[in-house]
Amino acid sequence: MPTSRLTVPVLLGPTGVGKSEAAFRIARELEAEIIVCDSRQVYDQLDIATNKPSQENLRRVHHHLVGMADPRGVFSVKDFVQLAGATIAEVAGRGPLPIVEGGSMLWADALTDGFSLSGVPPDPALRRRLEGMPLEKLDALLRRLDPEANVDLRNPVRLIRAIEVLEAVGPPLARTRTRTPPVWRPLRIGLTASLATIDARLAERSRRQLERGLVQETRAALKAGVAPQAPVLTGIGYAQAVAHLQGDLPEAELEPAMNLANRRYARRQLRWLRRDSRIRWFMAESDPVPGILAYLRETLI
C-alpha cells in the first residue's frame, strides 16, 4: 500500500499498563510488525529496566528500533522520527501492517503530529553549565523561562535542550515546534487501567527487575563506559541503581524509590494522554485485545 494511503495503529498508554504484550498479540493476529516508540528500549545492552520485549516475543514478531543505538551516546527524538518514518514506509512497502507501540509520549507525539527543534544550534558553554545541575534545579529554571513548557521532567538531556532553545529564541517552547505531520494516518489507541491496578503492576515489575539483576546490569554498564548521565541510565530503575552504586541510596530504599518514581511517571503520562481527544480508549483490567482487534478490523477495512 502506498504510504500516503496507509493507516497506522499507534498503541499508547502509561508505563506498566501492558502495551507491549497487547501489541505482540495484535501483531500475531494481524501478521503485523511492531515499531517500538521507546526512548530507552532503543539502546543496546541494557535490557532489564528498559522493559524490552522477551527474546521469545522478539523471535515470533518482528520488532523494529529495539537495542540498535549505542548506550554511550544520545539517540534523539529527531533521530527516532526519521528512522521510524523510514521503517514504517519499508514495512508497509513489503506488505505487513506496521504498528507503533510505545510509552515515550514526546516521541509518539513527534512521530504522529510532527515537530522539529533542529533550527536552534547547540550552545556548548550553556550545556557545560547546566550539566552539573540536579533535576530539581533544571526544572525550576525551565519553569522560570516558560511555565507552560511540556518536557519530560525526569530526563536531564531534554530539560537542558528545552532551556537551550528558550535561551536562544524565548518562550513559548511550543512556538519552536514546526509541525510536519507524516504522510500516513495515525490511528491512536489507548490502554488504561485504574491507578491501583497500574501501581500494583509497577511494584511487581520493580521487584522482578531487581531479582533479575538490575544493579549488576547497571554496574556493568558503568564499567563499560556508559556515563551516569547518559539518557539510558536516567530512566527509572537505572537512575535509582546508579544512585545506589554511588552511595546515595541505601539498598533498602532502592525498590521503594523505583516504585515512587514509576507511580509519578505513570500519572504524568496519563495527564499527557488524556488531553488528546483522538485516542480511542480500552481498559486493560479485562482483556483489551479482542476489542482492539474488532476496532482495527472495522477501521482498517
CATH number for the domain that contains residue 263: 3.40.50.300
Per the structure, the complete domain to which residue 101 belongs is given by 3-115+179-300
Using an 8 Å Cβ cutoff, are 186 and 88 in contact? no
Q: Are residues 100 and 144 in the same domain?
A: no
14 among annotated binding-site residues: yes
Q: Are residues 250 and 155 in the same domain?
A: no
3 among annotated binding-site residues: no
The tens-digit pLDDT sequence of the chain (301 residues) is 556 689 999 999 999 999 999 999 999 999 999 999 999 999 999 999 999 999 999 999 999 999 999 999 888 888 899 999 999 999 999 999 999 998 788 889 889 988 665 556 777 878 888 887 888 888 888 888 888 777 776 778 888 888 888 877 677 676 566 667 899 999 999 999 999 999 999 999 999 999 999 999 999 999 999 999 888 998 999 999 999 999 999 999 999 999 999 999 999 899 889 989 999 999 999 999 999 999 999 998 6
Q: How many structural domains are present in the chain?
A: 2
At 1 the pLDDT is 57
67 among annotated binding-site residues: no
Q: Are residues 171 and 184 in the same domain?
A: no
13 among annotated binding-site residues: yes
Q: How far is residue 121 CA from its own chain's centroid? A: 24
Helix (H, G, I), strand (E, B) or coil at 188: strand
Q: Are residues 56 and 196 in the same domain?
A: yes
15 among annotated binding-site residues: yes
104 among annotated binding-site residues: no
Q: Are residues 159 and 170 in the same domain?
A: yes
Cα separation, 71 vs 110, in Å, equals 22
Task: Return the bridge partners of 12, or none.
Answer: 190
Asked which of 161, 176, 191 is the last residue of a domain, the reply is 176
At 77 the pLDDT is 81
Closest CA to 50 of 31, 28, 75, 25: 75
Q: Are residues 78 and 130 in the same domain?
A: no
Helix (H, G, I), strand (E, B) or coil at 279: coil
Q: Are residues 109 and 140 in the same domain?
A: no
20 among annotated binding-site residues: yes
Q: Are residues 26 and 143 in the same domain?
A: no
The grid coordinates listed for 191 are 490502554
At 158 the pLDDT is 82
User: 161: buried, middle or exposed (CB in 10 Å: 19+, 13-18, 0-12)?
Assistant: buried
Q: Are residues 80 and 218 in the same domain?
A: yes
Q: Are residues 148 and 209 in the same domain?
A: no
Q: Are residues 51 and 190 in the same domain?
A: yes
Q: Are residues 137 and 270 in the same domain?
A: no
Say which residues have a Cβ less than 8 Å from residue 208's Cβ, sequence separation at least 6.
none
